[in-house]
Structure 1
């Protein structure tokens, strides 16, 4: 497969608050979430709708890969400090995050909201970084990651999405802390779906 996009070109839209996202000299993208930022909807319990995103629209089938590392305030990260991929669809949104558990163990977390949020914890990680993979084929969307130790793809979650273009974002969140920064690099997008997603 030949990459059609490498790193961050003009097809990516920065958030209105330009202080929350910038390109570093090494070509990596840095996104910083302010205190209280999150995307989550559970009526009567928790409803927050605001994270800094760097986004673009992608049409048709594709495979997107990007490496993300998460850095909390004062060098640490609190529960729910996270960075990852966010997909906006015609009927809601879905995200995959590199995020610590309440016990401080790093792992992958997915949330699907249509409109209420359905949350699931996926594979554990050795630390606050992962190579995330997003695959769209027709009306099927799949989240995966590439295991750092073996290089193998690991299936995380799949869902159906309505036909039509998708808005894909790179984001950070800091629901319960002062701020959180996510750094994205090694971005690649190819215009076809990864063949084996399981």
Structure 2
């Protein structure tokens, strides 16, 4: 499904360079390589966020994050250098209910797909659209408690709907860019500057 309201730099949009002082890095792993226009996050073995008690749990990823208040739409392009199943990079959102992530992820079959995980608090994982390669633009839009996620592979193309869900009822959330390597030695994700506008998409389906 296509998002009719594409955020093609609407009024109020700003690009946040990775040299902005509002960013904060949390491990595991080494500090990311970042310049104003590019970010590279390297995840060590075992880095992941997932909570399924009795089956699989992991609680640490390297991510560069910042606080975002109120309704917003944000997007970035991510490119993943990973060879094993689960290697991924993308956007993560933390709020009072738990966390959510959307990523470009290596599949068991060796291809690539958009994968989402909502953990409030137990992880609800969904494999989304299949991708032609290890890169895509990812978009998250928020209005109140409701979030929606979109993706597109090519700049200027239509945004494609991935999923919607509800988060915590609080003004401030922490939004970050991350890499994970749950089963491999390492994985690196590269990001273009985050673009953000202080409004939600008018049509979130």
Q: Please, what TM-score do these two structures have when normalized by structure 2?
A: 0.89
Partner Cα separation in structure 2 for residue 60 and residue 33 of structure 1: 30
Gaps of 5+ in 2: 1-9
**Match of residue 103 from structure 1:** 109
Distance in 1 between residues matched to 2:98 and 2:28, nearest whole Å: 23
Q: Which residue is equivalent to 2:98? A: 92
The CA distance in 2 between the partners of 1:80 and 1:149, in whole Å, is 25
Counterpart Cα distance in 1 of 2:49 and 2:16: 27
Structure 1 residues 7 and 35, CA gap change in structure 2 (3 angstroms): same
The residue that corresponds to 2:55 in the other structure is 45
Preserved contact between residue 47 and residue 61 of structure 2 (Cα < 8 Å): yes
Distance of 1:96 and 1:60 partners within structure 2: 20
Unaligned runs of 5+ residues in structure 1 are none
- Tell me what 2:143 maps to: 137
SS in structure 1 of the partner of residue 30 of structure 2 = helix
* Residues 1:66 and 2:76 are matched in the alignment: yes
Q: Secondary structure at the match of 1:80?
A: coil
Work out which of the residue numbers 41, 58, 62 in structure 2 matches 1:31: 41
1:78 is aligned to 2:89? no
Distance 2:41 2:117 in 1: 20
CA distance in 1, matches of 2:182, 2:29: 20
Q: TM-score, normalised by structure 1?
A: 0.92
2:24 alignment partner, SS class:
coil
State the distance in 2 between where 1:100 and 1:114 align.
Answer: 24
Q: Which residue does the alignment assign to 1:193?
A: 200
- Matched with 1:14 is 25
Cα deviation for residue 27 of structure 1 reads 1.9
- The Cα shift of 1:116 comes to 1.0
Deviation at 1:22, TM superposition (A): 1.9
Q: How far off is 1:150 after superposition?
A: 6.9
Q: Once the 2 structures are TM-superposed, how far is the Cα of residue 101 of structure 1 from its aligned partner?
A: 1.0
Deviation, 1:17, is 6.2
Supply the distance in 2 between the matched residues of 1:101 and 1:196 (Cα, whole angstroms). Answer: 30
Deviation of 1:162 (Å) = 1.8
Q: Does 1:115 align with 2:121?
A: yes
Deviations 1:133-192 (A, max 9, x none): 010111111111124287001110111112221111100000010000000004201111
* Alignment match of 1:57 (pick from 35, 48, 67): 67
Change (3 A) 1:39 1:18: closer
TM-align CA RMSD:
1.7
Aligned length: 193
The answer to whether the 8 A contact 2:28-2:43 is kept is: no
Pick closer, same or farther for the CA change 1:49–1:185 going to 2, 3 Å: same
